[in-house]
Structure formats: C-alpha cells, structure tokens
Amino acid sequence: MQLTRRWPPKGLSKAEIFAALGGALDENIDYARSLVIGFPGTTPADISIEAFEMFLKSHPNNITTHTSGEGEKGFGGTQALERDAISMVADLLGAEAIDGYITPGGTESNIMGVLLGREYLAQRTGDQDSPCVILTSMFAHYSIRKAAWVLGLNRDEWGSCRFCSDRLDDDKHEEIRHFYRGHRVDLLGTDAVGRISVEQLKARAAFHYSRGVKKFIVVVSEGNIMTGAVDNTRQVGEAITQMRAEMEGAEFFLHVDACYGGFVVPFLGEFSSNFSFHVPEVDSVAIDAHKMGEVPYPGGMFIYREDERKLRSLLGVTMGYVPGETDGTLCGSRPGASAAACYATFMRRGFVGYQEIVHRCMETADYLAKRLGEMDRIEVLPHDLNIVAFRLADDRPEVVKSPKFSGDFRERVKLVSHHYPADFSDPNGHVRMLYKATVMSHVTEERVDDFIVALQEELEHMR
C-alpha cells in the first residue's frame, strides 16, 4: 500500500480517503481470522466497543486524576466512570484506599511507578541527590529501563559478546547486545520459569548498600511478557521487610508490573492472596485492561495506595487554569471514552465472566504446551499463565551456529522472540533464542493445531 506523505492541497473525496483506509486495514492482522499466536492482544468485547463509541462523539477529556481532587468542568460523567473503574480494579487487586488513573498503557504506568518511587524515597531519606537503584528481573519489561532513563536515574547501556554474536548473527554482522551495563538498574537472574530470584535481590541490595546506596525501587512482574512467569510478590515483600530491619537507613519502594497478569492472576486460585495489593509492602501497581481485560486501547491503569504517607502529594505539577491543585498524570488529556469502555466491560463480565475467559485460555495454553512437548526439537518451559515459552532444543551455547526459524514463518504467525541467557539464574551468561506464544481468547485448540502443523513444516525445512 502506497500512502502520500504530503499535505493535500485540496481535500479528497470520502471514497478516496476510505479506499486508503481500507488498504491500511487490510495490512493489519485480524485476530478472528489470522494465525496470530504471539501478541498479547485480542478483539475487544462487543460491549466495550459500544461504550467507547457511545462517548466518542461527545469527545470527553478526562484530564487529571479523578480518584482524588477536582477535574476539568463539564466531564463529570466520564470522571465518575473512571473513578468506579479504578476502584473496581483496585478491589480486584486487594486494595481499598487508592489513587490512580487510566493511562495510555503499561509504559506510562511503569514510568509513573518509578517516578513515585523516586519521589517517595527522596522524601523518606531527605536526600534528593544520592543514588537510587532499581532492582528487577532480567525479564522486566523494557519500560522499567525506559523509566530510569527518562527520570535521570540511569543510562540504558549494553555490552556484547563476540561468541554469542557469531552464533546468533544472520550474516548482518551485528553484535548481540546482552550484557547490561546500566549502573543504577540491576537486572537479576530468575528461576527456570522466569520468576525473580529473591536471594539475588537480597544479595544485590546488600552489595549496593555496602557502597552507600540507601534508596531502592524494587519492581516485580506478575506475568512477565516473555515467559508469563509470576514473581512471588509475597516473598519479595517479606524480603523487603527483612532488609529494612537489617540495613539501617535503607528505604524501599515496591512497584508491581501486572500489565499482563493483572487480569489473569486474580482469577486463578493457585495464587491465593499472594499478589499485588494483597501484599502489604506493595506501593503501586501497573495493569492493562486492553490485554486480557478485553477493552480497546488505551486501557492502561496506574494505581497506588492512598494512606498516611499521602503519596498523591508527591505527584504532579500546579496547573492553575484547570480545577484541582496538581495534575497527577503524565499524559494530561485522556479520552473519557476509555473510562466508559472499562466500566461497561467490567460490569458486564463480572468476576465469573473473566474467570471463565481465563480458565479457557489456560486450558488452551496447557494444550499448546502439551503439543509442543511432543515435538523432538522443541523445549517447552513451564508456564504460570497463558503464555507458553519455548526454545529450539539444538540451539545451545556450545553449538557453533544457532538454528533459527525463517522470517516468513515468524511473520506468518507473528512469533515473538528474543535472546536470553541459557541459564536464567545468570543474567550475564551466554544466550539462546527464546520464543513465546500468547494464548488469548481468540486462540482455540483448532488454532493451536494449525500452528503446530505450520511449526512442524518449518522444522522440516530447517533440517
């Protein structure tokens, strides 16, 4: 499809415009018909689309935070819907008194979590200028490193290994960068599933503390986007309590990235109350309703505790011309239609409705893992959620040239991959390619069978 990049001297006809739009739409995936098994997205619920469209023409602006304080005059209806939507999700995650807002997505939510952590730790220590270290898993979403860069905490620097570059290079002569060199973001190893190592967390905190660092932002993932592993938030919280007692003057802020798992974990009984705000040490949570929550973009949420610490007072700048003392958001203006879509979908689905979706996706993920496990050349990782990660069995550090799926195959199924250490416990070890399939509600067992057939054909061509 060829689009013009120049401003038109005269307006075009609707027919011309919609012909171009139709061509663009044809180049996008259709979750209902495409063999798409890599993306954490699906078709939004019908009621969410109806609610979004219902409010779109009136164009409400939900600028500022509506769980506390005033907002822009004239949009009280969608502000109330946002308050309810945020409160419902907070209740789902185990909190009562909260503040927060609907964000464009997880990246902004995680940036806000790190920002709030930075400001809180500066207030607690009375020191704005001393170093602050972020402790998180090597599987943490890139937005955590982006937050550190945007907020001036760390530069995103990587080093490369010639050995791994030679193995994984597709004759592009590019270096495979996998040694993280950021001084203020410490990427920790995990267990074999991808859950953060609590022992490494304590050891690295002690290391930085011995060098004078007393401010720590800890970020856990409740469903990392590559393996779907759910960090043990309860154990991390207990470790923080222990470190507070043992490291005099050290302060901690615990942020949870539940952008993927936030609409999965609460509906799985095996996690009980060991997630998100059920853990008392948790200060803030990022969650995306536009993934497993099945609402349209933008449907991210940033939620934090509102208690005697008055965390809301640490966010925002004075506005002046907009009602309310400060704007506690990063993006400012936001579509009120998103609040309507969230409210309508949550109320329509209810706990039981989401539970049925999650259990169906988990059953399909189990089926996918079983089918993959029957293939000789595939190594399947255990999965906590409806993300199934796997590797090629003959892609090992001792192999001179790493086998790879073709670009055509990866494009056809939208297969997501990245290189990670062969030994997850060593974040600086030699790497292997890791692939993942995300089993959303549009992925049926029949779709899994189609994927397995395509994968088997690809493996035959790779011999």
Does some domain include residue 19? no
**3-class secondary-structure state, position 242:** helix
CATH of the domain at 358: 3.90.1150.10
Q: Which residue has the tokens 């940033």?
A: 302
% residues pLDDT > 90 (the chain): 69
> What's 271's DSSP letter?
G
> What's 290's DSSP letter?
T
> What's 189's DSSP letter?
P
Weakest-pLDDT range from 178-192, 233-247, 315-329, 402-416? 315-329
Checking if the pLDDT of 53 tops 70, the result is yes
Does some domain include residue 67? no
Whether 227 and 387 have beta carbons less than 8 Å apart is answered as yes
The pLDDT value given to residue 173: 45
Does some domain include residue 69? no
% residues pLDDT > 70 (the chain): 93
Does some domain include residue 29? no
Q: Ramachandran region of residue 100, left (φ > 0), alpha (ψ -120 to 50) or beta? A: left
**Cα-based distances in Å from 206 to 200, 235, 242, 250:** 10, 17, 12, 10
Instruction: Locate all alpha helices (DSSP H) within 94-218, ordered by sequence.
Output: 106-125, 142-150, 162-168, 198-210
Weakest-pLDDT range from 101-115, 182-196, 249-263, 311-325? 311-325
| Residue pLDDT, tens place only, 21-41 | 999 999 998 888 888 888 899
The pLDDT value given to residue 371: 98
Q: Are residues 372 and 273 in the same domain?
A: no
Does some domain include residue 340? yes
| Total number of domains in the chain | 2
Nearest alpha carbon to residue 115 among 62, 65, 151, 163: 151
Cα–Cα distance between 132 and 123 in angstroms, integer?
Answer: 13
The pLDDT value given to residue 431: 87
Which residue did the predictor score with more confidence, 227 or 179?
A: 227
User: What residue numbers bound the domain in which 265 lies?
Assistant: 76-350
Q: Are residues 128 and 264 in the same domain?
A: yes
**pLDDT band, very low/low/confident/very high, at 292 (cuts 50, 70, 90):** very high
Checking if the pLDDT of 247 tops 70, the result is yes
Checking if the pLDDT of 397 tops 80, the result is no
Q: Are residues 139 and 235 in the same domain?
A: yes
Q: Are residues 376 and 320 in the same domain?
A: no
Given 322, 350, 378, the domain boundary residue is 350
Given 350, 376, 396, the domain boundary residue is 350
Identify which of 77-86, 394-403, 420-429 has the greatest average pLDDT: 77-86
Which residue did the predictor score with more confidence, 154 or 71?
A: 154
CATH of the domain at 220: 3.40.640.10
Cα–Cα distance between 215 and 421 in angstroms, integer?
Answer: 28
Whether 55 and 337 have beta carbons less than 8 Å apart is answered as yes
Cα–Cα distance between 438 and 364 in angstroms, integer?
Answer: 10
Checking if the pLDDT of 170 tops 80, the result is no
Instruction: Count how many Cα atoms sit within 13 Å of the Cα of residue 69 in the half-sphere of its side chain.
Output: 24
Checking if the pLDDT of 396 tops 80, the result is no
Nearest alpha carbon to residue 446 among 46, 26, 33: 33
Given 350, 382, 398, the domain boundary residue is 350
The pLDDT value given to residue 181: 65
Q: Are residues 270 and 358 in the same domain?
A: no
Checking if the pLDDT of 60 tops 70, the result is yes
User: What value does the mean pLDDT of the chain take?
Assistant: 91
| Residue pLDDT, tens place only, 68-124 | 766 777 888 999 999 999 999 999 999 988 999 999 999 999 999 999 999 999 999
Q: Are residues 361 and 432 in the same domain?
A: yes
Q: Are residues 192 and 299 in the same domain?
A: yes
Does some domain include residue 43? no
Q: Are residues 284 and 198 in the same domain?
A: yes
This prediction's pTM: 0.94
Does some domain include residue 47? no
Does some domain include residue 56? no
The pLDDT value given to residue 216: 98
Question: Taking the CA atoms of the chain, what radius of gyration do you get in angstroms?
Answer: 23
Q: Are residues 396 and 415 in the same domain?
A: yes
Instruction: Locate all alpha helices (DSSP H) within 32-125, ordered by sequence.
Output: 46-56, 76-93, 106-125
Q: What residues are paired with 285 via a beta bridge? A: 256, 303
The pLDDT value given to residue 182: 65
The pLDDT value given to residue 319: 76
Task: Please give the average per-residue pLDDT across 340-363, as a whole number.
Answer: 98
Cα–Cα distance between 315 and 324 in angstroms, integer?
Answer: 13
Q: Are residues 251 and 285 in the same domain?
A: yes
Sequence letter at residue 76:
G
**pLDDT band, very low/low/confident/very high, at 174 (cuts 50, 70, 90):** low
Q: Ramachandran region of residue 158, left (φ > 0), alpha (ψ -120 to 50) or beta? A: beta
Q: Are residues 290 and 358 in the same domain?
A: no
**3-class secondary-structure state, position 36:** coil
**Cα-based distances in Å from 318 to 43, 66, 327, 356:** 39, 16, 7, 44
Q: Are residues 340 and 434 in the same domain?
A: no
Task: Please give the average per-residue pLDDT across 202-215, as a whole number.
Answer: 96
